[in-house]
């Protein structure tokens, strides 16, 4: 592959990781360039792509999922076809659709809607092409294979490039923060199943959009998947300890089981309430928690 003019780009044969600032620390991200003999695909055009432009001509954009930080670079590529999983397409075709995926309450919706436009350069696309699990993109000597991994969003996907032995994990980030399932269209059980699916990916190099960047070989990734999934278990263990006396969902949100107490961003309280509700629903269903019927919950 020809040299790519990009800071800290990592060459993995037909794949080049276009590293974001601080290895993709949010709101930045690590985009991926995949080049075949016929077509070149850009996966998840980041804020840095929006700022710098793509380093080569792009024939198609493929998205791991539709969230504000994965689409900013589309502003630089208005005439390039864009592809995403069918379950996330609503987030590309209109801003209302994207905000429906988040499901924020009205006051936050108004604020974040403007931030998505101003900070992430969001513009709706009326030419979205969709795919499903198992789809393949033939670029000429190089292929991209779609593995549907919902949970973070309904349409989140891992993208495999077999010729480079690369698995792009998107927002299965492998960070100590753990899985994020705080949107209206997130699903805790689906996320857990998707993490399990990642254990069987046939690859040597694993790329995350945020933070971890590139992890090799697979033996290094497996314990990171264990630790990533283990965050879910630890959240529930801590909640059960907290529920030794009756508590409300609001009590749980204020206690903070997802974010650290000092973190102050726009949607923290909303995410804490939604995540607490999801865990409580599950623990009530399996008998670990009792719904007292007055808005309070108690560890069984």
Rounded to an integer, what distance in angstroms lies between the CA atom of residue 14 and that of residue 137? Answer: 14
Condensed to tens digits (0 to 9), the pLDDT of residues 185-222 reads 999 999 999 999 999 999 999 999 999 999 999 999 99
- Tell me the per-residue pLDDT of 8-49, one tens digit each, with 9 for 90 and over: 999 999 999 999 999 999 999 999 999 999 999 999 999 999
CA distance 274 to 280: 10
As a whole-number percent, the residues of the chain with pLDDT over 70 amount to 99
238-267 average pLDDT score = 93
CA dihedral sign of residues 11, 12, 15, 21: negative
pLDDT at 3 over 80: no
Say which residues have a Cβ less than 8 Å from residue 202's Cβ, sequence separation at least 6: 160, 162
- What domains can you pick out in the chain, each with its CATH number? 10-228 (3.60.15.10), 243-299 (no CATH)
What mean pLDDT do residues 250-259 have?
96
With 90 as the cut, is the pLDDT of residue 300 above it? Answer: yes
Tokens of 238: 């801590």
How do residues 145-185 score in pLDDT, each as one tens digit? 999 999 999 999 999 999 999 999 999 999 999 999 999 99
Strand duo 296-299 + 289-291: pairing:
antiparallel
3-state secondary structure of 15: strand
With a cut of 90, say whether residue 266 has pLDDT above it.
no
The mean-pLDDT minimum among 57-61, 103-107, 259-263 falls in: 259-263
Question: Tokens 């403007």 appear where?
Answer: 114
- Count of C-beta atoms within a 10 Å radius of residue 33: 24
Site of tokens 């988040």: 102
Nearest to 227 by CA among 169, 173, 174, 188: 174
Question: Alpha-carbon distance 268 to 182, whole Å?
Answer: 10
**Which tens digits make up the pLDDT trace of 119-133?**
999 999 999 999 999
- Indicate the pTM of the whole model: 0.96
74 with 45: CB under 8 angstroms? yes
CB-based burial label for 194 (10 Å; 0-12, 13-18, 19+): buried
The Cα–Cα gap between 136 and 147 comes to 10
* 25 and 16 Cβ atoms separated by less than 8 Å: no
């Amino acid at each position: 592959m020809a040299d790519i003019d990009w800071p800290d780009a990592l060459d993995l044969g037909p794949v080049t990781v276009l590293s974001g600032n601080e290895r993709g620390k949010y709101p930045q991200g690590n985009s991926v360039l995949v080049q075949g003999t016929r077509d070149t695909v850009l996966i998840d055009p980041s804020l840095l792509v929006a700022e710098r432009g793509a380093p080569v001509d792009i024939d198609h954009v493929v998205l791991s999922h539709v969230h504000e930080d994965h689409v900013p670079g589309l502003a630089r590529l208005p005439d390039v076809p864009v592809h995403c999983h069918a379950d996330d397409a609503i987030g590309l075709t209109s801003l209302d659709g994207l905000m429906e995926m988040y499901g924020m309450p009205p006051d936050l919706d108004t604020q974040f809607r403007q931030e998505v436009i101003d900070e992430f350069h969001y513009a709706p696309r009326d030419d979205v092409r969709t795919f499903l699990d198992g789809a393949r993109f033939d670029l000429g000597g190089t292929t991209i294979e779609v593995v549907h991994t919902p949970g973070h969003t309904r349409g989140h996907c891992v993208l495999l490039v077999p010729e480079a032995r690369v698995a792009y994990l998107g927002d299965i980030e492998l960070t100590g923060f753990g899985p994020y399932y705080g949107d209206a269209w997130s699903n805790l059980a689906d996320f857990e199943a998707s993490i399990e699916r990642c254990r069987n990916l046939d690859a040597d190099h694993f790329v995350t959009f945020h933070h971890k960047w590139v992890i090799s070989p697979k033996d290094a990734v497996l314990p990171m998947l264990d630790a990533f999934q283990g965050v879910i278990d630890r959240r529930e263990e801590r909640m059960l300890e907290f529920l030794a006396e009756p508590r409300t969902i609001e009590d749980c949100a204020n206690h903070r089981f997802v974010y650290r107490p000092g973190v102050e961003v726009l949607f923290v309280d909303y995410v804490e309430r939604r995540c607490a509700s999801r865990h409580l629903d599950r623990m009530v269903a399996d008998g670990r928690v009792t719904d007292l019927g007055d808005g309070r919950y108690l560890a069984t």
